[in-house]
């Protein structure tokens, strides 16, 4: 079986001087030229599918705002244009299509390269550049179609508050977010969602954490969590703004780090859930970093060699040993 991808660039979802723009995808190579991959056409998500996560009032209010656009709808700033509602429906639908193809066994794994992104969008509001919560919608769809356990891993530099809020009271869904501490959206503390008994894990990281820290997290936190929760499907919120050169934050991942992390996640999926894993694009505001990260994920998913990218973090990493110990204690890992 091949690795599938869906591609929703939403070229008209754009606002002057905004970092979440179509140009984020300009450095991607021809996706059709990647060996072992195949394109999958997608349809817009239905209102019923969106409604598994978002309230009817939120959906109608967002549609109305887009009709009146272009304009800014929150302080992040999140913007909308006249095409944004249909763009967001298609992004969610493409994420659902990629996920269904994997859990039905039509593909080994998949990547939904979509925008607008989704992991900040909460059930009752769009926020943080995000309109619909693409990953949470796909997770709820998988559960609605018979899966018993789905796990989301979010390595975007910002906390996936929308995904967490959407899945917080869903015992069949696990969620783990690594994110830089003390930045937007201000959520994701270590003790947040304590009532979930380790089903929801937040791992706030100090500025400068990079490849060494993330690979420790993969081995010492993510791996035991996956083995304990034993999902039948893994969804990955793949934000590439944790890169050291991203303009909006201060973590320190590299292209090689993304390859190594992606390979570990793909390996865990192979060990626990028959290889069923879907990557979904979230943030990342340097086009070359986004392209390098996506290429790294495709290499991990297809078994190709690590892409050769000259990309060295120029900064020393902080020691996150104490934070890892805290996370283990809080979540009984």
Residues annotated catalytic, as ranges = 120
DSSP 218: I
Burial class of residue 239, CB neighbours in 10 A (0-12, 13-18, 19+)? buried
Q: Which residues of 285-299 are buried (b: 16+ CB within 10 A; e: fewer)?
A: bbbbbbbbbbbbbbb
Element (H or E) spanning 59, and its range?
A: helix 56-68
Taking the C-alpha atoms of residue 216 and residue 206, their distance in angstroms, rounded to an integer, is 14
How many other C-beta atoms are found inside a 10 Å radius of the C-beta of residue 211?
A: 21
Please give the C-alpha separations between residue 10 and each of 199, 215, 278, in angstroms, as whole numbers. 34, 33, 20
**Among residues 213, 303, 194, 310, which one has the least CA distance to residue 261?**
213
| DSSP 3-state of 127 | strand
- CA dihedral (204, 78, 7, 51) positive or negative: positive
DSSP H stretches of helix in 189-273: 211-217, 223-229, 255-272
């Amino acid at each position: 079986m091949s690795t599938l991808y869906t591609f929703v660039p939403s070229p008209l979802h754009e606002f002057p001087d905004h970092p979440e723009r179509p140009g984020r995808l300009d450095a991607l190579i021809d996706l059709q030229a990647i060996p072992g991959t195949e394109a999958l056409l997608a349809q817009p998500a239905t209102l019923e599918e969106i409604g598994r996560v978002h309230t009817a009032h939120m959906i109608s209010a967002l549609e109305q705002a887009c009709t009146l656009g272009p304009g800014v709808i929150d302080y992040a700033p999140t913007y909308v244009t006249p095409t944004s509602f249909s763009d967001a429906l298609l992004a969610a639908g493409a994420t659902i299509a990629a996920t269904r193809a994997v859990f039905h066994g039509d593909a080994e794994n998949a990547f939904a390269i979509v925008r607008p992104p989704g992991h900040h969008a909460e059930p009752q509001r769009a926020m943080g550049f995000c309109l619909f919560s693409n990953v949470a919608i796909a997770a709820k769809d998988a559960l609605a179609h018979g899966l018993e356990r789905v796990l989301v891993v979010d390595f975007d530099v910002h906390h996936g508050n929308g995904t967490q809020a959407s899945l917080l009271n869903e015992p069949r869904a696990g969620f783990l977010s690594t994110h830089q501490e003390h930045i937007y959206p201000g959520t994701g503390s270590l003790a947040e969602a304590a009532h979930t008994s380790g089903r929801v894990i937040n791992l706030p990281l100090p500025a400068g954490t990079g490849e060494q820290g993330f690979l420790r997290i993969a081995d010492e936190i993510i791996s035991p969590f996956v083995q304990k929760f034993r999902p039948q499907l893994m969804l990955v919120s793949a934000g590439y703004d944790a890169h050291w050169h991203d303009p909006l934050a201060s973590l320190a991942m590299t292209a090689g780090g993304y390859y190594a992390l992606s390979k570990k996640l793909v390996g865990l999926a192979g060990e626990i859930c028959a290889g069923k894993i879907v990557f979904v694009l979230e943030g990342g505001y340097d086009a070359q970093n986004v392209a390098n990260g996506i290429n790294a994920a495709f290499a991990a998913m297809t078994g190709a060699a690590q892409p050769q990218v000259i990309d060295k973090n120029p900064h020393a990493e902080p020691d996150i040993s104490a934070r890892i110990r805290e996370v283990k204690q809080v979540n009984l890992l």
